[in-house]
Amino acid sequence: MSEHIVPRSTYFIIFAALLVGTAVTVFAARIDFGPMNDLIAMTIAVTKMSLVLLYFMHVRYSSRLIWVIVAAMFFWLVIMLTLTLADYGSRDRFGPQSPSNYTL
Amino acid sequence: MSNQLTTEARGQEWRSRFPTVNYLNADYGIKSWLLTKDHKRIALLYLLSVTFFFALGGAYAAAIRLELLTPQGDLMQSHTYNKVFTHHGIMMVFFFMIPAIPAVLGNFLVPLMIGAKDLAFPRINLLSWYVYMVGAALTFAALLAGGVDTGWTFYVPYSTSYSNTFVILAGLGIFINGFSSILTGLNFIVTVHTMRAPGMTWFRLPLFIWSNYATSLIMILGTPVIAITVLLLALERLAHIGIFDPRLGGDPVLFQHMFWFYSHPAVYIMILPSMGVVSELIATHTRKPIFGYSFVAFSSLAIAVFGFLVWGHHLFTSSQSVYAGMIFSIISYIVAVPSAVKVFNWTATMYKGSLSYDTPMLYAYAFVGLFLIGGMTGLFLAALGLDIHVHDTYFVVAHFHYVMVGGTVMGYLGGLHNWWPKMTGRMYPEGWARFAALVIFVGFNLTFFPQFLLGYMGMPRRYHAYPVDEPLWQVLHVASSGGASILAIGMLIPGIYFIWSMRYGRFAPANPWPATGLEWRTPSPPPTENFITTPVVTWEAYEFRPIEEMKVVGPGEPDQPVGGQHPINRGAEPETRE
Amino acid sequence: MATHADAVEAHGHGHESAHSALAHHFDNLEQQREAGALGMWVFIAQEVMFFGGLFLAYLIYRMKYPTAFMAASNHLDWKIGTFNTAVLITSSLTMALAVWATQVGRSRKVQVGFMAATVLLGLVFLGVKAYEYNDKYVHGLIPVAGLFNPEPKLVQEWTEAGVTVQNVQMFYWLYFAMTGLHALHMIIGVGIIAPIMWFAWRGRYSPEYHAPVENFGLYWHFVDIIWIFLFPLLYLLGVHFGKGH
């Protein structure tokens, strides 16, 4: 067969890393980094996700087509989040205050 | 009840009506249709379903046009009218326009065009039809139970807090129907990636495949968002959770963002396959390769990608930030460019081509002209300043009908005519077909052109009445309704002759036009497994050759290489699969 | 043991004389495997957009009501959330090992054993979630009009922080919608792995053919990834509440 077989040891290492990551994110949440809170939490989450994607889901050993699909997944999610934020992020922020209940 | 013929004998009799054993007569009985895994039969099942919903949506359109003959709201009350245009929109958008070309022509042709025996997941293909039917049944039930009056766009807060119609039932039907779309798109993507015949490289694919592939990308990435939006709408309506309700801290515009995130790419789901059909029609009926093949191929992908970046242009007047509006407006202009590329390339293809006036080509001509108008008026609407004035007027209605009917439906009809011989093994009557095409063209323009004028003068959409002291408005509305009746007659004519042709039409050869493309290298109608031998492709797309060379392998003919050459590709060297 | 063969698509020169699992429209098992994996990835891409809509709603409302979200998150027990996260990560490990077992041709017992462990851990996760939901119900925190009756002590705590009950309710509906949809996907997953376990017990999966196990594994890991994001976004916000923002 042509597929790459990931050794069990790799799986255990990744598993340990994921548990460590979970512990780190819990401890980091207890410290107030101010505006960096979200960034740190998301960085840890993205790292954990990457480990699952690359090793548990074998993306590291998959064809370029699979990489393109995974990249496209993120790209589209980012489009949806970013362009909607373009609206919400720019309301009431520039120009004269419009009468509204939103306080951003 | 004594039956003269046994089932076996009836099967024989059915089979004997056709000169060959093909997918239509290979198996007999209703179970063989309802439990089929053959993509060609599934395409015909879809054909029946979408035609039914097209007729239903058309009936609602007739009611709309009847009401608008007079300025007063005298045919029906306003809340009835609200239901009528809502049903027209829902039936047409979700149950006709989105599935029509991909699920009918796409399902039938994608495996044939790439040289495969079936789609990658035949049972999922059948599932997608059943899911469509379940969604359709639920929505139909909502209609029968009393209907929905929110507009097909289901805007909040009306749909969540104030409407007392069957919003959730209809929404559930649409939610389920979305999965049909997703499964079809999934099937196409995997099929095109993994099941192309040997030698069929990406840039030898017919442009219809490129279009359907791009459409499938949109289906996969956009439809789930409307699914979650409808789910949230139902939750809000049922449980008043507050997501869209300003009184509870929510934002109604968030609904619009989420709704249009799908529904704008959805319109590209509607138009892209039709553009693919038109590429095929123009190449076939001018006997020329499409000018700038790779540009047209990439433009399909560009439309799919850019189509996801413009949804805010539906929110220009909805308290969306002006700055976001500017971004969406600019990108809306950019998304028109790939469409324009296609129009230019089709025109260049026709230059010095061997033009025919067969029915499919008549529809292709109609598409090019009408899509041009529809697309350009879309650009008018993409301009922030102008949109303020014409948003929610008949200008918008005229714009999207030009692209949807003048675009998609023309392409759909042209495609049905072009591939009817392949699908059924019969020719439709050419004289009647050309006449019908003309009637449809005249009827369509008479219906929708006056609506541009009406909208520009300020006639709002979704209104059942208009001012009495604007006599010109009534003139235009009467013209529009007159056109609608002509259009309806024009649509009925193919309905009649297509059915007639299944019994009495002239038997069609494998390649009647003749055209290039693997689907024409197999008998009409094809056998269940599509090709007797797997084709090996050694020629480029749209390589028109002298007619003698376009040999077809049919039953009874040698399917092994003869004299070192495969019958299906004389003069070719078999290539290894990439 | 495991080989380190390159996973770049091999040319499918399969000489299998029609493996019983080979479908009629595919030329060989390799093409079928490739198609199946691709199909599952495309499905996962679609699921990402499905959940993405909820993440969008979360993002918008979190930006609008940051304090309210922190206050509301305070009453989600992060210890339970952490436990559940660990459970789900472990189930991902056992699922990966189940796929491995079919890839290298371990016995049916080993294959089914790993799958059973995955199911068990999944059920533990769901059980804990059910306990959590019940806890919310008991405290009157179900965000449905008419059922949202938080204790006066809580309401006072929130009012003192300058947060309205409605905005807290917003958080809770997001919590229920996102974790509920996630739990639904897990239930569906448990439902799908049952026939796979049955087939594994019948000895159907081998190094030549184990596509269903592999593809289900992809689905299960995807569900895990969603939770990896849900956990910090929902459970770990409220830890600073009270210290000011």
Chain C partners (3+ C-beta pairs within 8 A): A, B
Chain B to chain C Cβ contacts (< 8 Å): 115
Question: Which residues from C are below 8 Å from A84, CB to CB?
Answer: 56, 60
- To the nearest whole angstrom, how far is the Cα of A37 from the nearest Cα of chain C? 9
Q: What is the pLDDT of residues C15-31, one digit of tens each?
A: 445 678 888 889 888 89
pTM: 0.90
Q: C145 and B239: CB-CB below 8 Å?
A: yes
Q: C222 and A58: CB-CB below 8 Å?
A: no
Closest CA to B253 of B172, B321, B175: B321
pLDDT value for B545: 74
- To the nearest whole angstrom, how far is the Cα of C184 from the nearest Cα of chain B? 14
B570, pLDDT greater than 80: no
pLDDT value for A39: 87
- Nearest-Å Rg of the Cα atoms of chain A is 20
User: In B53-87, which positions are buried (b, 16+ CB within 10 angstroms) versus exposed (e)?
Assistant: bbebbbebbbbbbebbebbebebbeeeebbbbbbb
Question: Which residues from C are below 8 Å from B251, CB to CB?
Answer: 60
Which helix (H) or strand (E) segment holds residue B41: the answer is helix B39-67
Q: Which residue of B has its CA nearest to A99?
A: B319
How does the average pLDDT of chain B come out, rounded?
91
Residue with tokens 């439990």: B35
Q: What is the pLDDT of residues B501-537, one digit of tens each?
A: 998 999 888 888 888 889 998 888 999 999 888 888 8
Q: What is the pLDDT of residues B312-365, one digit of tens each?
A: 999 999 988 889 999 999 999 999 999 999 999 999 999 999 999 999 999 999
Closest CA to C49 of B262, B545, B69: B262
Q: Residue B565 — φ and ψ, nearest 5°?
A: -125, 135
For residue A79, give every residue at least 6 positions away whose Cβ sits within 8 Å of its Cβ, in sequence order, or none. B308, B309
β-bridge mates for residue B426, sequence order: B507
Q: Residue C237 — φ and ψ, nearest 5°?
A: -80, -40
Q: C164 and B249: CB-CB below 8 Å?
A: yes
Task: Say if the ipTM goes beyond 0.85.
Answer: yes
User: In B454-490, which positions are buried (b, 16+ CB within 10 angstroms) versus exposed (e)?
Assistant: bbbeebebebbebeeebeebbebbebbbbbbebbbeb
Contact B391, B317 (CB under 8 A): yes
Q: B195 and C164: CB-CB below 8 Å?
A: no
Q: Which residue of A has its CA nearest to B257?
A: A84
Q: C64 and A104: CB-CB below 8 Å?
A: yes
- To the nearest whole angstrom, how far is the Cα of C144 from the nearest Cα of chain B? 5
Q: A79 and B309: CB-CB below 8 Å?
A: yes
- To the nearest whole angstrom, how far is the Cα of B257 from the nearest Cα of chain A? 7
Q: What is the pLDDT of residues B164-203, one digit of tens each?
A: 899 999 999 999 999 999 999 999 999 999 999 999 999 9
Q: What is the pLDDT of residues B74-84, one digit of tens each?
A: 999 999 999 99
Find the range with the poorest average confidence among B4-18, B111-125, B409-423: B4-18
Which of C40, C85, C222 to probe the A interface (max A CBs under 10 A)? Answer: C85
